[in-house]
Amino acid sequence: MRSSDNCYCLKASIVSNHVSMDEQIELWHEILGHMNFRDLRTLGKFNCVRGLPKLGKKANGICGPCQQGKQTKACTKRSVPKARTRNTSYELWKGKRPNVSYFHTFGRKCYILNDRDQLGKFDAKSDEGIFIGYASNSRAYRVFNLKTLSVMESSNVVFDDTRLKSNDHEEKVIFSDDSPLEEVVVSPNVGTSNVNNDGTQPIDRVPLLDSKEPAPWVRKLHDKEDIIGEVNEGVRTRRQLANLISYTCYTSQIEPKKVEEALNDEFWVLAMQEELNQFERNEVWTLVPRPKTTNVIGTKWIFRNKSDEDGNIVRNKARLVAQGYSQIEGIDFEETFAPVARLESIRLLLSISCVHKFKLHQMDVKSAFLNGFLQEEVFVEQPKGFVDSHHPNHVYRLKKALYGLKQARRAWYERLTQFLVDNNYTRGSVDKTLFIKRDNDELFIAQIYVDDIVFGSTNNTKVQQFVDVMSLEFEMSLVGELSYFLGLQIRQMHDGIFITQAKYAKNLVKKFGLEKAKHCDTPMSTTLKLSKDASGKSVEQTLYRGMIGSLLYLTASRPDISFSVGVCARYQADPKESHLSSVKRIIRYVNGTSNYGIWYSFDTNASLVGFSDADWAGNCDDRKSTSGGCFFLGNNLVSWFCKKQNSISLSTAEAEYIAAGSGCTQLLWMKQMLVDYGFNQGTLTLFCDNMSAINISKNPVQHSRTKHIDIRHHFIRELVENKCIVLEHVGTNDQLADLFTKPLDATRFKTLSRSIGICLVE
């Protein structure tokens, strides 16, 4: 037996957003001044009025307000002058049909587009409001915004024309004489209310509305425990539990935009308190009286959700940062540069681990910048929401660096470097973010990227020693095997390492709405020659550049799309429809190969080789050539490049010669890097498929084909002469760098992709 206090509500899926036929005709009956139902149907049936839908017949044909208002028997003019005439009086007079599409009932609920605030992914795009009239000087609606409690004028308004059915209860009066009033200044197209502070009368007075008013279809307020499901439907505990979990996850994923929002959420308050506790543990600052002649820097809270490699949120992170833009150079800071690891360095480290067959680990220094010592005297404001009640006007004097300061990154790098050097770790001669420690035949390697550290050793004892040393000096987190680093998903297996960005690739395709588009076998067509296309139709730059930027980030683990993305990136200044179509083709290719990545095999060696190639005069606009190359440590692809040459080449040999020079620079850099790892390379091999270019590098003879080449490209001759590098010929079918210089057919493209290590690992 259910009590009468229970409230029964239907599933949301069965509640229609569309009004019934009776409600629709009643709505237009009210909007058009309680017009006769028969004439109203006639106007809609014969399309006499623009914006008026075809209306059905009302069931009872009675309107309560009409019965009360027309007791005086006062007659009104008909809208249709004669029975057989299909024209209204307005159309006979003006020569055009009247338009009532913008007619709405006063007091109707509506939604105003929020184009004022910086909205997040999960924020509502509109504010709820009440329609109160029309603007007198523009084609806009006057709406009372329930969020900002102000009267707005906006044309971006969507109305909720679902009508309230009130059979046995009265509708709540929204505007009444007894409602409290608040002075609000009307500000067109502005959401924030401007309160009148000068003592003058405000422009308009509007009553405050109770935003917690129950939904119209609920007869009365009920306790949550009294609300049960549909009477005729069984209990669905699984769905209820799933909805509860989904709701909990949704609220935990929201990133506050303002401090006030975060202070109302206990999870974010804990995150903010943890950040300030970190300040205390590291002795970052001291509360002092505000100096009179010194620059005081503001502070700001930043809220971010931390995700794992699958995109699942693992924790809420609140970061207090300094507003470094107000710093004065020479007073608040001096040097600011700090090195970070390149992606080639990370891939080279992964290849080295395959050579030695050891696992890599990762750790994160918690609040790393708070450990860097400052050389300058810097003052910051107290953080919002955590102001000292006894000294509200005091400021903090910083002892250590704070996120947001221009010198914070450098201060942390110097602190970490000095600590590692003091513990007998040697810094790399080329890459200053590489730290190595050798003990007889045992090797330990650590690569630094700001506060993220990747490390490994041929002896697991060395790994544990490093973790212990770092944990004693700094507070560490996320210590474990390397699985996610700089957006790369890394799977360490018994026979190799697989690098992919599958999660990012799927999100990229979904972001641009191409998840259901047909897949492509190659990222670029062999028959299409892209050009500036001056006569083509322009497309939105923001969309095009967003696509290019997203794809460029994906090339960190997908060299198979490097050439096609590089070609499309040349037209970001004025993209056309032809360019956008090519970019969409790349995304459709990514959609079909989203789980692909680079495979690093343990079955390899430490020999360094490279391939270089060029596509002569491939650019249709300026006839410049494209250089491409790829470089391997044993069988594993470590680095690649695809770049348009700076000068026009007069022959294929010249284009190949310039490309070979670019390949030599990369080989030399990698050779010096390998010296730090303990691998001394002899003469390096660079494969080229053009004999003329090889002969130019071997024979320093000046003739008509070479005398005009810029001298900076001739340094390859010295390298060949000193036997640092040797150029060897490779057949066109075996030229792996073809993948980075020209579009290929599906068969050739797949063959080269497999050859450089692009594959799918289940």
CATH of the domain at 697: 3.30.420.10
The pLDDT value given to residue 489: 93
- Cβ atoms of 103 and 31 within 8 Å: the answer is yes
CA 199 to chain centre: 46
Domains contained in the chain, number = 4
Q: Check whether residue 164 and residue 299 sit in a common domain.
A: no
Residues 81 and 119 reside in one and the same domain: no
| Whether residues 283 and 398 fall in one domain | yes
Are the C-beta atoms of residues 489 and 503 closer than 8 Å to each other? yes
- Residue 626, domain extent: 604-730
Residue 706 lies in a domain: yes
Residue 54 burial class via C-beta count within 10 angstroms: exposed 0-12, middle 13-18, buried 19 and up = exposed
Domain membership of residue 596 (yes or no) is no
Q: Residue 533 domain-assigned?
A: no
Q: Kind of pairing, strands 296-297 and 379-380?
A: parallel
The CA distance from 479 to 761, in Å, is 26
Q: Is residue 29 part of a domain?
A: yes
Give every residue of the chain whose pLDDT is below 70, as ranges: 1-25, 33, 37, 44-47, 50-51, 54-62, 64-86, 118, 120-122, 161-253, 309-311, 700-705, 707-708, 711
Strand pairing class (395-398; 426-427):
unpaired
Residue 253 in domain: no
Write the CB contacts of 34 (distance below 8 Å, at least 6 apart in sequence): 63, 65, 66, 69
Domain boundary among 94, 123, 154: 94
State the virtual CA torsion across 533, 536, 538, 539 in degrees, nearest 10.
-90
- Our CA angle for 633, 637, 641, nearest 5°, is 115
Number of residues that make up the chain: 762
Same domain, 148 and 283: no
Q: Check whether residue 84 and residue 136 sit in a common domain.
A: no
Residue 146 · residue 129 · CB < 8 Å: yes
On the CB side of 732, CA atoms within 13 Å amount to 7
Residue 430 and residue 304 in one domain: yes
Contacts of 133 (CB under 8 A, 6+ apart): 106, 141, 142
Residues 73 and 134 in one domain: no
Residues 85 and 158 in one domain: no
Within a domain: residue 519?
no
Verify that 477 and 426 share a domain, yes or no: yes
40 and 157 in a common domain: no
Task: Looking at the structure, tell me whether residues 657 and 710 fall in a common domain.
Answer: yes
The token pair at 293 is 């002649």
Query: Three-class SS string for 302-322?
Result: EEEEEECCCCCEEEEEEEEEE
Rounded Cα distance, 610 and 668, in Å: 11
pTM, entire model: 0.64
Distance of CA 575 to CAs 76, 526, 540, 618, 743, Å?
Answer: 60, 20, 8, 19, 20
Q: What is the pLDDT of residue 699?
A: 77
Residue 621 lies in a domain: yes
Question: Does the residue 178 lie in any domain?
Answer: yes
Residues whose CB is less than 8 angstroms from the CB of residue 52 and which lie 6 or more positions away in sequence, other chains included? 28, 43, 44, 100
- Looking at 69, 94, 119, which one is the last position of a domain? 94
453 and 341 together in one domain: yes
- Closest of 505, 579, 528 to residue 742, by C-alpha: 528
Residue at token pair 């296309």 = 533
- HEC states along 94-153? HCCCCECCCCCCCCCEEEEECCCCCCCCCCCCEEEEEEEEECCCCCCEEEEECCCCEEEE
